[in-house]
Amino acid sequence: MATLRGELRRLGTKLGLGVSENDRLGEFRSRLAVLWVDLEELRPQRLAGYGPVSPELADELEVGLERLKLGIKRLEAGLDEAGEAYV
């Protein structure tokens, strides 16, 4: 990852682009977006491609996934507040 960041920085500098150093809030938002997609991939209807999902497991998954997504929403709200503090 560090190698990729370094290469992006070199390319941005060479092309005269305004390269932002360490946009931590943006990085966290990106990671949360990826996590959201990962959670969506764990939905019982998506797992059915790997074999049958019992109704009990499906119910547990749905409840757990909704709790995790609520946590992501709370983290995103916190990032929004933190971003406003820097404006």
Report phi then psi at 26, rounded to 5.
-65, -40
Global confidence as pTM: 0.69
Digit-by-digit pLDDT tens for the chain (87 residues) are: 678 878 878 887 888 876 565 677 888 899 999 999 999 999 999 998 999 999 999 999 999 999 999 999 999 999 888 877 655
Amino acid at 67: R
Distance CA 7, CA 12 (A): 8
Distance CA 39, CA 61 (A): 10
Show me where the domains of the chain are located: 21-85
Q: How far is CA 25 from the centre of its chain?
A: 12
Residue keyed to tokens 């946590």: 71
Amino acid at 47: L
